Amino acid sequence: MSDLMVEARGLGKTYAAGSGRAVVALDDVSLVVPRGALVAVTGRSGSGKTTLLHCVGGLEHPDAGSVRVDGVDVTGLDEDGLLRLRRDRVGFVFQSFALVPVLTARENVGVPLRLRRTAVREREERVDRLLDLVGLGRHAEQRPDELSGGQQQRVAVARALAASPSLLLADEPTGQLDSATGAAVMDLLRSVVATEGVTVVVATHDRSLIESADAVVELSDGRVVAPA
């Protein structure tokens, strides 16, 4: 088994814009992430952070370059392979939380396990443990609109961990939170690395998250300007 969780080499990604223009989102970007590390990807809005995370996690296909995650050649996968990658190996946390409004915290966290048809008892035990891990055991039966922004993001982290992924990709996870709540989410991500053995790559402007990372990669106009 390689000591590297992520090996992204020479990634390029261009989007079509209006009037025949093209926007270069990634230009020869490489990213190497060791197992068990928390790596921050930073840069101004539009620098390519989200596109990089999407290419690593198989949500988008780069125009050039290659990506390996946990030993799997992501860029060589077909749609079924990408679905399995996202189901079994990669968890996502989004700035918008992306929780299902009509489901309780417990039910939201359990969604990935239902998709994997995990046995009921095993699923319930896993969900309860994750809600305790993120400090929301007492809020298990509350729906998203009954939770604060910080609590919703904690539910999103627990849901991302439900299927025991090897890699957690977090896109601006503290972007909608105040500084104190953002710091709590930051501490949670660090504890996830320690207790769950998960590798974390986070796209962020948050100085506290950046300072607590094991390594930092800075992007500007789709290029790496300050590698780890």
Task: Say whether pTM exceeds 0.95.
Answer: no
CATH number at residue 141: 3.40.50.300
Domain assignment of residue 100, yes or no: yes
| Confidence band, pLDDT 50/70/90 cuts, at residue 20 | low
The average confidence (pLDDT) of the chain is: 91
28 located within any domain: no
For residue 1, tell me if it sits in a domain: no
Work out the pLDDT band at 227, boundaries 50, 70, 90. low
Nearest to 91 by CA among 70, 77, 122: 70
**Residue 96 in tokens:** 């918008």
- Which long-range CB contacts under 8 A does 56-61 form with residues at least 24 apart? 56/6, 56/8, 56/31, 56/167, 56/169, 56/201, 57/85, 57/86, 57/90, 57/92, 57/167, 57/169, 58/82, 58/85, 58/86, 58/90, 59/86, 59/92, 60/13
Summarize pLDDT for 63-91 with one digit per residue, the tens: 999 999 999 999 999 999 999 999 889 99
User: Is residue 72 assigned to a domain?
Assistant: no
Closest CA to 153 of 178, 129, 128: 178
Ramachandran sector of residue 28 (left: φ over 0; alpha: ψ -120 to 50; beta: rest): left
* In a domain? residue 103: yes
Question: Does residue 17 carry a pLDDT above 80?
Answer: no
How many domains are contained in the chain? Answer: 1
pLDDT score recorded for residue 1 = 62
* Residue 155 reports pLDDT greater than 60: yes
Residues with Cβ within 8 Å of residue 163, at least 6 apart in sequence: 87, 88, 91, 112, 113, 116
Q: What is the mean pLDDT of residues 167-181?
A: 85
